[in-house]
Structure 1
Amino acid sequence: MREILIVGGGYAGFYTAWGLEKTLRPGEARVTVVDPRPYMTYQPFLPEVTAGSVEARHAAVSLRRHLHKTRLVAGSVTEIRHADRTVTVRPVNGEEYELRYDTLVVTAGAVTRTFPIPGLAQSAIGLKHVEEAVAVRDRLLTAFDQAASLPPGPERRKLLTVTFVGGGFSGVEGFGELLSLATAMLKSYPELSLGELSFHLIEARGRILPEVTDKPGAWVVRHLERRGAHVHLDTQLVSAEDGHVVLSNGEEFDSELIVWTAGNASNPVVHNHTDLPVDERGLLVVRPDLRVGTDGDPVPDVWAAGDDAAVPDLASPVPGARTVPNAQHAVRQGKRLAKNILASLRGGKVRDYRHSSLGVVATLGLGRGIFQYKAIVIKGFPAWLMHRGYHVLAVPTWERKVRVLTVWLTAALFGRDLVSLASVQHPRDAFVTSAAPRRPAERQAGDHAAV
């Protein structure tokens, strides 16, 4: 059988494998997906996971539950050698090994882009995976509990200070949702006041949300500032050592929670460990039909899509434009990939990928949002409803749609759950403490208590 190897189980990889499963004939080809995680993350839900509006598991789509005919390999591809038609796989456990293929699909996705800022690696957390979104939420809830037991002062002020670095969609949505959660939580913490909350959004450019035009972007800044947030434009993070934030504009403050959402970088395996052609940004050179290579020099039997591919945007009037690396394109590219690979196997005609944007929509917190399609701009509650409606339709599988809708309906009736489960990040601590040998005085006190 022909071996089709898919590197990465994100949007594009998942939809490619899903589409091939539905259309391949028995014995026609075997599909293998290599990914270290057993699920696809629906990233547009991560901001709502931080706010408790979506359960963490509902933002993850199990690969094994929905890819019944696909071989799944839990590991990371560390090198691609198309000259030999092999990839090197580093499994979660065990030694590295090689996998051979006949057709290769590279949908490895991007990684978080970072800079050598002092203290960043030690103090900050990203917002690209479900685990990170859960940790962000739990850290905020834990900080509220700790701050409520402290008198006003520097320690309490640090606990109630949140900093987001990056003003793209991920940063602005996460910032708005967490600000909404923090404001709502004050009802349950009479010891704390709105004036003690300090939320900072830092953006190196002169505006946020580059996907929308200038006026809607400026409105979002004013909207966040009216809610008490501090938006720092044309500002960079200089240092974050021990949670002490230093900005390029001279401002300094202590922050308990620092979230880094300052864009994506090309996947290292694509950028540094492959013999496939890449551009100056480290992205795979891709033709309009999603084959790797150029019109004059295609690479045989290699396809790519998603965030690690420079896919020509045929719907853009700008010459040489590339599709924006977002879920809207990745999902549709995955579907087109499956159809083109099948057509290629059967000697049929492959088609170019072309998709006109449906507009952009962002949540800014519970009941708040913004939508833009060309000159049409919708703000506030209607945009928030559009955001929820679009994404509940876009999240794959009916099972996930029903689960997400159920959580939203429950929250509408009873409010958001404000329980922190930060201790799950260290599940053995309580057991280790109980199982540790006790000193004689502690044993004697325990014996008296038993009597």
Structure 2
Amino acid sequence: MSNTAPVKSTTPRILIVGGGYAGFYTAWKLEKHLRKGEAEVTIVDPLPYMTYQPFLPEVAAGSIEARHSVVALRRHLKKTTIVAAKVTGINHADKVATITPIAGEPYELEYDQIVVTAGAVSRTFPIPGIADNAIGLKTIEEAVAIRDRLMSNFDKASTLPPGPARDRLLTVVVVGGGFAGIEVFAELRSLASSLVSKYPQVTFEDTHFHLVEAMSRIMPEVSLKTSEWVLKSLAKRGAFVHLDTQLTSAVDGNVELSTGEVIPTDLIVWTAGVMANPTVVRGGDLPVEERGRIRTRADLRVGTEDEIVEGAWAAGDVSAVPDLTGGGVGGYCVPNAQHAVRQAKLLAKNLVAVLRGELPREYFHKNLGAVAGLGLYNGVFQSGNLALKGFIAWVAHRGYHGLAMPSWERKFRVVWGWWNNLWLGRDLVNLEAVQNPRYVFEEFAARPRPAAPAAEPEKKAVTEAPAQKVAASR
């Protein structure tokens, strides 16, 4: 037997934390830029797909099939090792990450380069009732649940007489007037309007839509004039926007506002902010800035302008990347898909450059504009002083995001779905029961009869004991 120790591989090991927008694009581009055998790439995420988050409002409205708005990691990352797990600890001093798989025990994984692209989660406040009654809009599962809840509520409301219980089912409250909030608010209003025609028991006036925004305006990404046009458009469609208003309670679904108004509802959608994934940020030793994001340089290496954390990279919503254009909030790039995908593409190039002893480039991207869908055939587009509204902006919205969807396979599925809906109409199938798929089977499944209780042994005659004593005394 040989006593020679196995030779450790010298191939650099790249660990990507998170398979969302930035993580997927980093791995995708690394596969194109790396030479054969130049590095080993591993991506860790508990979910087997990347979610194209700009499509979530349309998924919630039933305008896009849920599966078409996600990208399967294993289908499109052919040279990358994919691990279904969470990274629950990063010890960059020793270049070791703690991997907690979806099945099995946690283990440690060594790496040479780490790319943190763990994204963001909904940021909420300790408002009574929110944690128990609201739902966010950061995942495909949330978007599907919102769609199915609204459709189920129409089914229930159609069986009830007019009254408070019926009004609650037909009332929707969205919290947050940014792009995500306005888009899902408008899309759900559009969905409800199309549902009304299918329910003779429900009229348009029976449906109530409220958006709550703490600021004095909505959509800060567009001009004030454009945002005012959006408000007027929503008002014409029977939607109410509460500006300069805060939500103070949502206990039992009763939304209490700072104005004193109380809105009973069965559907509260929370879009009032995001925060960097705390599981990854707090579970590691990488530097973090005051807002809880990983401190990142303009070349997408972790660190500051004066100090570099060797072997560590970050991009997307989990990172605080300086905005060299000067237009970012607080001097940093805002957390959106536009920055995430562009940062990821540059990060892949920079990482390969560093592996080859070359210098990385700094990230510089000037926002070209903002586009939003406001329901079928209605949208808004802003680029500098140019503003488009209505149908042409809606076409621009779909055109931009159709092209931005990664891979031709996914582009085709999305566009084909839009084409079908154009001629066949919106798909109104409600699959809320899929969240409890065994209910029918359980209701009618035969079960073994309970075992009969064991019979108690017969009691012996009372006279038996004294007789035995007499016999024993003889």
User: What residue in structure 1 maps to residue 356 of structure 2?
Assistant: 346
Q: Distance in 1 between matches of 2:121 and 2:175?
A: 16
Deviation sequence 1:268-298 (CA, Å, 0-9, x none):
1344222111111011111111111112111
Change (3 A) 1:91 1:319: closer
The amino acid across from 2:153 in the alignment is A
Of 378, 388, 405, the match for 2:398: 388
Rg: which structure is higher?
Answer: 2
Of 424, 427, 430, the match for 2:437: 427
Change (3 A) 1:158 1:13: same
User: What residue in structure 1 maps to residue 205 of structure 2?
Assistant: 195
After the TM superposition, list the runs of 4 or more consecutive aligned residues in structure 1 that deviate by more than 3 angstroms. Answer: 317-320, 436-439
Where does 1:368-407 land on structure 2 (aligned, <5 Å)?
A: 368-407=378-417
Q: Distance in 2 between matches of 1:95 and 1:179?
A: 46
Deviation sequence 1:392-439 (CA, Å, 0-9, x none):
000000011111111111111011111111000000111011115599
Q: Distance in 2 between matches of 1:270 and 1:277?
A: 12
The answer to whether the aligner puts 1:34 opposite 2:44 as a matched pair is yes
Change (3 A) 1:153 1:21: same
Of 100, 114, 136, the match for 2:110: 100
Q: Distance in 1 between matches of 2:297 and 2:165?
A: 55
The answer to whether the aligner puts 1:115 opposite 2:125 as a matched pair is yes
- 3-state SS of the aligned residue for 1:188? coil
User: What residue in structure 1 maps to residue 374 of structure 2?
Assistant: 364
Structure 1: 5+ residue runs without aligned partners?
Answer: 440-451
Q: Distance in 2 between matches of 1:256 and 1:408?
A: 30
Q: Distance in 1 between matches of 2:284 and 2:108?
A: 14
Shift of 1:317: 5.7
* TM-score calculated relative to the size of structure 1: 0.95
Give the stretch that moved more between structures: 430-439 or 409-418. 430-439
The answer to whether the aligner puts 1:129 opposite 2:139 as a matched pair is yes
- 3-state SS of the aligned residue for 1:218? helix
- 3-state SS of the aligned residue for 1:391? helix
Contact 2:88 2:280 in 1 (8 A): no
Of 9, 12, 24, the match for 1:2: 12
The answer to whether the aligner puts 1:413 opposite 2:431 as a matched pair is no
- 3-state SS of the aligned residue for 1:19? helix
The answer to whether the aligner puts 1:170 opposite 2:180 as a matched pair is yes
User: What residue in structure 1 maps to residue 468 of structure 2?
Assistant: none
User: What residue in structure 1 maps to residue 101 of structure 2?
Assistant: 91
Shift of 1:200: 0.6
Change (3 A) 1:259 1:380: same
Q: Distance in 1 between matches of 2:254 and 2:419?
A: 40
Identity of aligned residues (%): 60
Change (3 A) 1:169 1:318: closer
- 3-state SS of the aligned residue for 2:89? strand
The answer to whether the aligner puts 1:250 opposite 2:250 as a matched pair is no
- 3-state SS of the aligned residue for 1:5? strand
User: What residue in structure 2 maps to residue 446 of structure 1?
Assistant: none
Of 127, 136, 146, the match for 2:156: 146
* TM-score calculated relative to the size of structure 2: 0.91
- 3-state SS of the aligned residue for 1:117? coil
Q: Distance in 2 between matches of 1:10 and 1:137?
A: 22
Change (3 A) 1:296 1:35: same
Q: Distance in 1 between matches of 2:280 and 2:258?
A: 33
Q: Distance in 1 between matches of 2:271 and 2:430?
A: 23
Contact 1:270 1:284 in 2 (8 A): no
Shift of 1:315: 2.1
User: What residue in structure 2 maps to residue 219 of structure 1?
Assistant: 229
Shift of 1:118: 1.4
Of 262, 278, 282, the match for 2:292: 282
Give the stretch that moved more between structures: 56-65 or 114-123. 114-123
- 3-state SS of the aligned residue for 1:365? coil
User: What residue in structure 2 maps to residue 449 of structure 1?
Assistant: none
The answer to whether the aligner puts 1:234 opposite 2:208 as a matched pair is no
User: What residue in structure 2 maps to residue 70 of structure 1?
Assistant: 80
Q: Distance in 1 between matches of 2:359 and 2:290?
A: 31
Deviation sequence 1:205-238 (CA, Å, 0-9, x none):
1111111121211221121112111101111111
Q: Distance in 2 between matches of 1:119 and 1:310?
A: 31
The answer to whether the aligner puts 1:49 opposite 2:53 as a matched pair is no
The amino acid across from 1:191 in the alignment is Q
Contact 1:107 1:305 in 2 (8 A): yes
Q: Distance in 2 between matches of 1:383 and 1:391?
A: 12
Q: Distance in 2 between matches of 1:108 and 1:119?
A: 28
CA RMSD, Structure 1 to Structure 2 (Å): 1.5
Of 312, 322, 334, the match for 1:312: 322
Structure 2: 5+ residue runs without aligned partners?
Answer: 1-10, 450-474
User: What residue in structure 2 maps to residue 445 of structure 1?
Assistant: none
Change (3 A) 1:438 1:364: farther
Shift of 1:59: 0.7
